[in-house]
Structure formats: structure tokens, C-alpha cells
């Protein structure tokens, strides 16, 4: 079974993003190539000492916009409860990081359409999207509606016994 981690460091270099677990005993690091977008599992020894470090709470995913790929990380979370003995968190804040450092690779037409995709103002667009609803997460259990309904039914049945 794969390990789950609670806290991370985002280590950034011009070539790669590194997602490094901060938990004891963890040596695995997710390396994301900013040019090829390839993701590989590597070790802490492969992170350059010059990498910029920022604490994060989790990796949300990636999104492709006109200007290219963006990495979305959770930077702040709040515990809102427990589900079957596992902590449930609400994601409160996010960072949206461009794989590319400039928009020089875009054509004039693409630069003109930047506003349509909200890439120029990507942080507020995506931030507004995430804050419009609530994003809940847990590391050990799925939070799908099907799972939540079945958990509720099990809890009701166990109370009746």
C-alpha cells in the first residue's frame, strides 16, 4: 500500500517543480519537468540546493490554459471534522504556478485571447472558482457522494443495532 503524507514542501527551480513530503521517513519526491511536463518519482538527493522552498498542504493538479500548463497547489487548509476516524480538511487557499516563465512563445492571436481564458488574471479566476464552492479533502478516504451515502447508511445501521 502506498504511503500518504500530511505536509509538503514545494521546491522550485527554473527546470522543475519538486513536491517533497515533510513527514518522517519519507525520501520519495515527485519531480515535474517544466518543459516536457513529465512527472517522475525521484529522491530528495536529486533536489538542487538552489531550489526555492515553500510549504504547501497538497497538490491539486495541473491545468492547461492558452499560455501553457499550470500547477495548482493547496497552500492553506483547515480541519473541519473526521470521517470514519480520518481527518477531513477544507482547502482554503491555492497557488497557481506557470510551468513557463514568459509568454514569449505565444502568437499575437493567442496573446489577444489571453483575457478570454483569464490566463493573465489566472490567479483570481481560478481562486474565485475554487472559493465559489467548497473543496474538501482527506488523504485516506474517498469523498465521493456514493461513498458518503454508504458511510451514512452504515452509521445509521450500526446505531440501530
Domain boundaries defined on the chain:
8-160
pLDDT tens digits, 48-76: 999 999 999 999 889 877 777 889 999 99
pLDDT tens digits, 96-155: 888 876 555 556 665 555 444 444 555 566 667 666 667 778 877 666 665 555 555 555
Q: How far apart are CA 153 and CA 36, in angstroms?
A: 46
The alpha-helical segments, DSSP class H, found in the chain are 108-117, 122-132, 145-160
Q: By three-state DSSP, how is residue 156 classified? A: helix
DSSP 147: H
Amino acid at each position: 500500500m502506498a504511503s500518504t503524507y500530511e505536509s509538503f514542501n514545494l521546491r522550485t527551480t527554473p527546470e522543475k517543480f519538486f513536491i517533497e513530503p515533510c513527514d518522517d521517513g519519507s525520501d520519495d519526491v515527485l519531480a515535474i519537468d517544466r518543459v516536457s511536463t513529465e512527472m517522475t518519482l525521484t529522491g530528495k538527493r536529486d533536489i538542487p540546493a538552489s531550489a526555492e522552498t515553500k510549504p504547501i498542504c497538497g497538490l491539486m493538479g495541473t491545468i492547461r490554459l492558452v499560455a501553457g500548463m499550470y500547477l495548482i497547489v493547496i497552500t492553506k487548509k483547515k480541519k473541519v471534522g473526521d470521517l470514519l476516524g480520518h481527518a477531513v480538511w477544507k482547502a482554503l487557499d491555492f497557488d497557481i504556478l506557470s510551468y513557463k516563465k514568459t509568454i514569449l512563445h505565444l502568437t499575437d492571436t493567442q496573446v489577444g485571447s489571453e483575457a478570454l481564458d483569464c490566463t493573465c488574471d489566472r490567479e483570481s479566476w481560478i481562486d474565485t472558482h475554487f472559493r465559489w464552492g467548497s473543496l474538501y479533502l482527506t488523504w485516506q478516504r474517498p469523498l465521493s457522494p456514493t461513498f458518503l451515502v454508504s458511510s451514512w447508511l452504515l452509521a445509521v445501521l450500526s446505531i440501530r443495532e
